[in-house]
C-alpha cells in the first residue's frame, strides 16, 4: 500500500507554503506531537486547532520522527512508524500539512515556519514548554494557545487497554 500524501511534506516545502499564505494574509497554526494510535482526543484537538487558522489559514502538524519518539517515550514506542502516522494525519480534513521532524525539540522548525499561532493540548502550559521552543516562539511572535483534552482519551491509556485485552 502506498502511504504517500501531498499533505506530507518537507520543512522546505512547508516554509514556501507558509510564505505564500502570509502574502495573502492567511494565518498559520502549528502544533506538534507523536500522534501514535490516532484517537478521538487527537482528532477533536486537531479540529479545534484548525479553527484557529480561520477560513484562509492552514494547520501544520510537526510530527515526531520514530527516533525522536524513542528518545521521548522509550524503546517500545512508537507503535506505528512515522510514515503511517503521517499518512493518518494527512487523511484528516483539519490537517493541511504534515512535516516530520527528526530532533527531540521543535525550535528549528518554529524559527523557519514562523507560525502565527502555536497550539498544544492537554496539560501543557507556557511554563511546561521546552525553553528552546518557547524562546523560538517568542522570537517569531507566535501566540501560544493551550486547548483542553477531550476527556477519556489518551494513547498511554489506550496502550494499557490493548495490553490488558491480551489475546482477544
149 within a domain of the structure (yes/no): yes
Domain tally for the chain? Answer: 1
Length of the chain as a residue count: 168
1 within a domain of the structure (yes/no): no
pLDDT for 4: 85
pLDDT for 69: 94
2 within a domain of the structure (yes/no): no
6 within a domain of the structure (yes/no): no
pLDDT for 137: 97
45 within a domain of the structure (yes/no): yes
109 within a domain of the structure (yes/no): yes
Interatomic CA distance for residues 102 and 20, integer angstroms: 25
111 within a domain of the structure (yes/no): yes
Tell me the residue range of the domain where 41 lies.
11-165
* CATH code of the domain covering residue 126: 3.40.50.620
Cis-peptide, bond into residue 78, ω within 30° of zero? yes
What angle is formed at CA 152 by the lines to CA 151 and CA 157, rounded to 5 degrees? 135
What is the pLDDT tens value at each position of the chain, 168 positions in all?
677 899 999 999 999 999 999 999 999 999 999 998 889 989 999 999 999 999 999 999 999 999 999 998 899 999 999 999 999 999 999 999 999 999 889 999 999 999 999 999 877 888 889 999 999 999 999 999 999 877 777 777 787 888 888 855
Amino acid at each position: 500500500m502506498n502511504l504517500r500524501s501531498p499533505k506530507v511534506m518537507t520543512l522546505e516545502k512547508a516554509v514556501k507554503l507558509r510564505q505564500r499564505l502570509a502574502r495573502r494574509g492567511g494565518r498559520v497554526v502549528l502544533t506538534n506531537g507523536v500522534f501514535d494510535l490516532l484517537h478521538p482526543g487527537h482528532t477533536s484537538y486537531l479540529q479545534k486547532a484548525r479553527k484557529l487558522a480561520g477560513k484562509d489559514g492552514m494547520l501544520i502538524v510537526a510530527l515526531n520522527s520514530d527516533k525522536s519518539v524513542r528518545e521521548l517515550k522509550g524503546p517500545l514506542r512508537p507503535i506505528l512508524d512515522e510514515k503511517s502516522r503521517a499518512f493518518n494525519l494527512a487523511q484528516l480534513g483539519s490537517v493541511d500539512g504534515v512535516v516530520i521532524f527528526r530532533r527531540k525539540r521543535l525550535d528549528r522548525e518554529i524559527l523557519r515556519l514562523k507560525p502565527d499561532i502555536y497550539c498544544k493540548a492537554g496539560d501543557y502550559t507556557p511554563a511546561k514548554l521546552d525553553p528552546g521552543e518557547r524562546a523560538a516562539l517568542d522570537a517569531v511572535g507566535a501566540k501560544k494557545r493551550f486547548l483542553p483534552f477531550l476527556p477519556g482519551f489518551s494513547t498511554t491509556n489506550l496502550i494499557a487497554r490493548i495490553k490488558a485485552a491480551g489475546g482477544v
